[in-house]
Amino acid sequence: MKKPVFLRNVCFYLTLFWVLSASYPAFSATHFTLKNGMDVYLEENHRAPAVTQMIFYKTGSWNEPAGKSGVAHLLEHMMFKGTKKFPSGRFSEEISRNGGEENAFTGKDMTAYHQTISKEHLPMIMEMEADRMQNLQFSAKEFAFEKQVVLEERLLRYENQPLSKLSEQMQLALFGNNPYGRPTIGLKEDIAALSEEDLQDFYQTYYRPENAFLVFSGDITKEELLPLAEKYYGVLRNPPQKPLPAKVSASKPQNFTQEITFRHPLVKQPIVMLSILNPDKDLILPAEVLAEIIGESSIGKLYLSLAMDKEIALSATAVFNRQKHLSGTFNISVIPNKISDIPEIKKELQQIKDIKISEKDINNAKERLISSLIYINDDILLQSSYLGNAIALGNSFSDYQSIAAKINAVTLTDVKKAQQVLFSDTSAKVFGILLPPDKSPE
């Protein structure tokens, strides 16, 4: 499915999850549980008579069996192919006819489907979404068609995109046999080998009430939503005598430093990237703040040093990406001024642990992050996505409600510890260098 801009950049919003000040109580969601145990979250927003519904399945490419990469994403495509009650195309047609919008996305730890529509049509989309959770029909013809669509999507987004290819190689190097090392879209050879039975098995295993939750945002109250949720979702049941599979286990990558150079004729502008595995979940919040301090696009310490002072880079950014099963990765991207600047840039990145950080730096970073979060409330789809991603990544609802206290508790000592641990000589890290053909940074 074609992704809207904010979902193509969903990792950016995930990195903002923990950041909110006590002086900005921007989120006031409520939570309730249906009779069948399915959780429902609601962010009321009465600025316009519209509602966003999102259903999150707590499964993604992490849960794919070895050799079956891409099955979660291909199933996402097949979910739009209809049921007996609502044949192929009916769901999308009804939403479009009534002025609504829909889409979906697959990640490492989750798969989500969302619709935004006027309040009066909410029961209709709830009925259709609940129906396809358990009554999806698999057509051999449509399966073959969608598999080809995904193969073409991979060709467009990965095979013909040098930066995507380099990122894929870096993830494989960083995580090894860990499921996070596989691309969410799947490996080309795995996608080509997927069968209709593979999708049916994944669907029947993971698409069930006990492995899903609902998020709503918009012009509806809990009193209005609860009976609707019970009517359409509360009646769904988990398959009898079919428990969810045991949690996937994979060893954490060991400490190492590796460098990957990828050359491609389409490359016009070289890029230097660095991805570091965070070894400690207690460093997640400090790492978020650290990423803002050193990697904000125009005033971060990396940009000021590499682009403004030394004039060896055109841009320098950093972001921390959260994961459910490990503790996240710290990622840096630098566009060199010229290829001959790459060795010095690499040297500077290896010395980030020596960058001086002050209390003022931390306070300024928090203020910038807080300002970015406030605008989430202007978009009901973004509100739902933000809350849903937080829960899908393993945070409790109380975690979500106490973001302010948690971020305000981060100290200068905490951030300096994250700085030293992440950028130590023994951390697990991968450098990636993207170059045109027959060019060398040496």
The set of catalytic residues is: 76
Task: State the DSSP H helix or E strand holding residue 129, giving kind and residue range, or none if neither.
Answer: helix 122-134
Residues with Cβ within 8 Å of 113's Cβ and at least 6 positions away in sequence, in order, are 54, 55, 76, 79, 102, 103, 104, 129
CA angle 204, 208, 209 (to 5 degrees): 170
CA dihedral (192, 195, 200, 201) in degrees, to 10, reads -90
CA distance 304 to 361: 13
> Parallel, antiparallel, or unpaired: how do β-strands 329-336 and 271-277 relate?
antiparallel
d(CA 112, CA 131): 15
Consecutive H or E run containing 422: helix 412-422
Amino acid symbol at 265: P
341 secondary structure, DSSP code: G
Alpha carbon of residue 37 to chain centroid: 25
Neighbours of 12 (CB within 10 A): 12
